[in-house]
Amino acid sequence: MPRLDDHFCSCSCPASERHRKQLRAGAGGLAAKVEEMISPSVSSPSLLVDHSALNTSPSHRRHSSGHSTGVSVHRCNSSHANSWHHHLVQRSLVLFSVGVVLALVLNLLQIQRNVTLFPEEVIATIFSSAWWVPPCCGTAAAVVGLLYPCIDSHLGEPHKFKREWASVMRCIAVFVGINHASAKLDFANNVQLSLTLAALSLGLWWTFDRSRSGLGLGITIAFLATLITQFLVYNGVYQYTSPDFLYIRSWLPCIFFSGGVTVGNIGRQLAMGVPEKPHSD
């Protein structure tokens, strides 16, 4: 007859087998849920990596590099332009001051020798000169002094003859001497004085300039300044004693020519070492 323990084993084995299957099914479901929970967290870093990879792509790097280069070039151009304008203002002020001083000194020589006559009511300064003469001469000196190096640069012919301040100071001294000679020297007639001053003015240009642009600008300045002076004298602003060239003295264009060459040399010397004018894009 069958024993009780055999019956118990035959009954308990199917139950334990079912229990094991349930445990395996539960473990598999739990693993599936855990995998579903973990997969979003794993995919999000991959998206971040892909996004960062897009941001560090070669085209993006080239764009960033080009942008930074453009900013640096713009800053460099802006700094260059500011430096050029700063030097321009400085040169203009120096040339204006030189023109004012020369006008006061040279006009005083002319008035003391009664070569130039102003109405009594306009003589109000210690230099015995009309108030408008120094600022007008200073403005003209600034324009001429800035024009000379500008024309040299435009023509592509930089002036290199005697480019030192000692030569410029000698040129100023010769110019003052020519102006002083026009008021002090006595000749038999004005023609002889005019020819002498013309030779001295050309000698000044040959000694301290020798450039075609300097000669051309000197002649142009002498012509324009003579026309303006004729107009002022014609309208009674002031007058010259013993005029022999319409309303003025015949030697006056020589003074304007030598003055233009002198101020031009000062402007050229001031322009040395100044950065070139920036080009606008």
**DSSP result, 193-208:** HHHHHHHHHHHHHHHH
Backbone phi, psi, residue 239, to 5° = -150, 165
Q: Range of 145's domain?
A: 85-273
Does 65 map to a domain? no
Q: Which of 44-53, 92-101, 183-192, 220-229 has the lowest mean pLDDT?
A: 44-53
The answer to the question of residue 21 being in a domain is: no
Nearest to 260 by CA among 142, 164, 158: 142
Q: Whole-angstrom Cα distance, residue 65 to residue 226?
A: 60
- Classify residue 185: in a domain, yes or no: yes
38 part of a folded domain = no
Average pLDDT over residues 219-225: 95
Supply angle C-alpha 270, 217, 236, rounded to 5: 105
Per the domain annotation, does 181 fall within a domain? yes
The full 3-state SS of 221-258, as one line of letters, equals HHHHHHHHHHHHHHCCCCEECCCCECCECCCHHHHHHH
Is residue 173 in a domain? yes
pLDDT digits (tens, 9 = 90+) for 164-178: 889 999 999 999 999
Number of domains in the chain: 1
Average pLDDT for residues 26-38, to the nearest whole number? Answer: 55
Is 148 among the domain residues? yes
pLDDT at 227: 94
